[in-house]
Amino acid sequence: MKQIVYHLLRVLLKTAGLTESADNSGSGTLSNYHIKTLMLWSCELKPRSWWTDNFSFTAICADLLHILSQWLYQGYCPHYRYFITGCNLFDHCDRANQVCAAERLSNIDQGQLIKWFLGYYLQKCCQQCPLTVLRLFDDISTSEKLWTATSAVVQWRQSNVKRYSWNAFQFAQIRVSQVIYTLSVTVRSYFVWMKELSMLDSRLRVYFISFVCLYVARKLSIEGSSKWTKFLAVLCDGLGCNISLLETKKTSELVDFLQKSAVEHLTTFRQLEA
């Protein structure tokens, strides 16, 4: 619920021209950081039941917008970190714009949010749906018709999720090879890639390691092992072998070991992929 509310607040305030964006040339009174601050304070001060017992996200959004309106009227937005005392996030905002924005937000109620959600947000989110689904939103005057339209979107999304996931999976494979051989790889980038790929698909970590092994093996054959000692220690940890054993090997033996590891990981990846 909290993630949905935060997302809707960002879209709503951007649509209203109250946050800085390319559309209003940075003239917005608020920023995404102000919205984030509002959410963090609300998570801190509001009880769990306020979020869980109220199943209407539009009602929650309306309440939060009114809190933000009060901050704008007062000209004071407290920093959400307690150790930064006396910090006003509205210090550099124009006072007249603050009052104007406060008046606009205070007039927004749940009914207006529901109309905005149905008339703008929901239909814009459905633009990728086929025409048969989009036509259902031409008439959502009753709860039954709205339920039918939204259910059609959910069904369409579920029927396509495997295709989208497979496309993303294949694109990630292409990007791994491109980035490694174009931008090289460092200890820091290695850990970043391993973390990001784990969140996308754990199998891609195996694919990534296979390409890293090939890349480092190629570099060792050209530059020698002295420049890659630190990275080899990290890579060996990922391969599950002892770095002390590799330190006793010659460069040619290290290259053979990494090439063999690359083949083994790539074979494992293809098995997992199948």
Report pLDDT digits (tens) over 7-45: 889 888 888 887 765 444 444 678 888 888 889 888 888
Q: Do 121 and 12 fall into the same domain?
A: yes
> What is the average per-residue pLDDT within 187-200?
84
> What is the average per-residue pLDDT within 236-265?
78
Please, which pLDDT band fits residue 242 given cuts at 50, 70 and 90?
A: low
Q: Do 197 and 115 fall into the same domain?
A: no
Q: Do 16 and 94 fall into the same domain?
A: yes
pLDDT tens digits, residue range 52-63? Answer: 876 788 889 999
Domain-embedded: residue 153 = no
Q: How many CB atoms lie within 10 A of CB 59?
A: 14
Domain-embedded: residue 148 = no
Domain-embedded: residue 89 = yes
Q: Do 117 and 207 fall into the same domain?
A: no
Domain-embedded: residue 147 = no
Q: Which of 125, 146, 169 is the last residue of a domain?
A: 125
Of the chain, the percentage scoring pLDDT greater than 90 comes to: 3
Q: Which of 89, 104, 125 is the last residue of a domain?
A: 125
Q: Do 111 and 193 fall into the same domain?
A: no
Q: What is the mean pLDDT of the chain?
A: 82
CA 84 to chain centroid, in Å, comes to 27
Please, which pLDDT band fits residue 143 given cuts at 50, 70 and 90?
A: confident
Q: Do 119 and 197 fall into the same domain?
A: no
**Statement: residue 149 has pLDDT above 60:** yes
The reported pLDDT for the residue numbered 65 is 92
The reported pLDDT for the residue numbered 244 is 65
The reported pLDDT for the residue numbered 23 is 47
Regarding predicted confidence, which is higher, 246 or 97?
Answer: 97
Sequence letter at residue 112: Q
Burial of residue 141, with CB atoms counted within 10 A of its CB: 0-12 exposed, 13-18 middle, 19 or more buried: exposed
Domain-embedded: residue 92 = yes
**Statement: residue 1 has pLDDT above 80:** no
Q: Which of 125, 142, 168 is the last residue of a domain?
A: 125
Say what the pTM is: 0.55
Domain-embedded: residue 134 = no
Cite the beta strand spans of 128-200 per DSSP E.
none
Q: Which helix (H) or strand (E) holds 251?
A: helix 251-273
Domain-embedded: residue 175 = no
Q: Do 15 and 108 fall into the same domain?
A: yes
Q: Do 94 and 188 fall into the same domain?
A: no
Domain-embedded: residue 268 = yes
**Statement: residue 105 has pLDDT above 50:** yes
The reported pLDDT for the residue numbered 251 is 81
Please, what is the Cα angle at 152 between 146 and 154, to 5 degrees?
Answer: 105
The reported pLDDT for the residue numbered 26 is 41
Q: What domain range is 62 assigned to?
A: 2-125
The reported pLDDT for the residue numbered 66 is 92
Which pairs count as long-range contacts for 72-81, CB under 8 Å and 24+ apart, including other chains? Answer: 72/29, 72/98, 72/99, 72/101, 72/102, 72/105, 73/98, 73/99, 73/102, 73/106, 77/34, 77/37, 78/37, 78/41, 79/37, 80/36, 80/37, 80/40, 80/41, 80/44
Q: How many domains does the chain have?
A: 2
